[in-house]
């Protein structure tokens, strides 16, 4: 953040930018969430553009540029929101209700801090998440889900996510062939009228995908 500034005023300027960013985020929390017609963009310096269609950043940030645990609020209900490339390390403070949430290309390694939520689309691609353990207790309703190709266990709970019609993997299939095979089985059952969790679990185990056959 502001690595190009090397003069004596760096500290003060950096603080001003951080203060402005926090002001912007609090503005979003207190004002923007009261209407489904206002969707904002925050650039990497923390300034708002009211004439765009979603909340995002305009250029890539590095890990730690935004510590959302210190912002003092949680998102509530939003339409579309993008947390893409924010350097986030958790799903803390994510909205509980949204149309589309893009949390791809961050440093999120766990779904533990995801609130109990309902989304139409959730993109978790390109994050170092290894397990979806307890996903149905977090993501209670979702239509489309994108997961990273780093998942190595606990995907059976996807069958309990209400309304889920498909799961896609972001990344090269050859990087995690076991996950690719497991998701094919999951999607086959999701496409049925009444997904059979026991049958799905049995098929995963029969295909030597035991680590994925857990909730």
CA neighbours closer than 13 Å in the CB half-sphere of residue 198: 0
Q: What is the pLDDT of residue 174?
A: 87
Average pLDDT, the chain: 76
Gyration radius of the chain's alpha carbons = 19
C-alpha separations of 138 from 41, 78, 129, 188 in Å: 27, 17, 15, 23
Residue 129, class by beta-carbon neighbours within 10 Å (0-12 exposed, 13-18 middle, 19+ buried)? buried
| Domain parsing of the chain, residue ranges | 142-215
Residue 143, class by beta-carbon neighbours within 10 Å (0-12 exposed, 13-18 middle, 19+ buried)? middle
Q: What is the pLDDT of residue 46?
A: 40
Which residue has tokens 């190009």? 4
* Mean pLDDT of the 78-85 span: 76
Q: Is residue 8 predicted with pLDDT exceeding 80? A: no
Q: What is the pLDDT of residue 88?
A: 79
Q: What is the pLDDT of residue 48?
A: 38
pLDDT interval class at 111 (50, 70, 90): very high
pLDDT interval class at 122 (50, 70, 90): very high
pTM of the model: 0.71
Q: Is residue 193 predicted with pLDDT exceeding 50? A: yes
Q: What is the pLDDT of residue 19?
A: 67
* Dihedral angle, C-alpha 205, 207, 212, 213, nearest 10 °: -20
Q: For residues 170 and 14, which has the higher predicted lDDT (pLDDT)?
A: 170
Which three-class secondary structure state does DSSP give residue 2?
coil
* Mean pLDDT of the 102-111 span: 92
Low-confidence winner among 83-87, 150-154, 156-160 (lowest mean pLDDT): 83-87
Q: For residues 98 and 187, which has the higher predicted lDDT (pLDDT)?
A: 187
Percent share of the chain, pLDDT over 70: 65
* Mean pLDDT of the 82-110 span: 84
Q: For residues 12 and 28, which has the higher predicted lDDT (pLDDT)?
A: 12
């Amino acid at each position: 953040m502001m690595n190009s500034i090397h003069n004596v005023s760096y500290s003060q300027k950096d603080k001003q930018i951080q203060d402005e960013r926090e002001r912007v985020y609090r503005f979003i929390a207190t004002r923007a969430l009261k209407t489904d017609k206002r969707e904002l963009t925050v650039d990497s310096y923390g300034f708002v553009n009211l004439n765009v269609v979603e909340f995002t950043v305009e250029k890539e940030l590095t890990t730690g540029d935004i510590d959302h645990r210190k912002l003092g609020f949680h998102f509530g209900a939003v339409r579309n929101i993008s947390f893409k490339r924010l350097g986030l390390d958790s799903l803390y403070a994510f909205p509980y209700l949204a149309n589309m949430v893009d949390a791809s290309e961050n440093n999120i390694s766990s779904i533990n801090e995801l609130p109990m939520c309902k989304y139409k689309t959730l993109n978790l691609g390109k994050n170092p998440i290894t397990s979806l353990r307890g996903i149905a207790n977090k993501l209670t309703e979702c239509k489309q889900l994108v997961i990273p190709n780093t998942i190595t266990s606990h995907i059976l709970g996807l069958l309990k996510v209400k309304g889920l019609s498909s799961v896609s993997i972001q990344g090269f299939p050859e990087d995690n062939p076991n996950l690719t095979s497991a998701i094919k089985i999951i999607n086959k059952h999701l496409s049925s009228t009444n997904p059979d969790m026991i049958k799905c679990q049995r098929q995963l185990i029969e295909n030597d995908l035991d680590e994925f056959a857990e909730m």
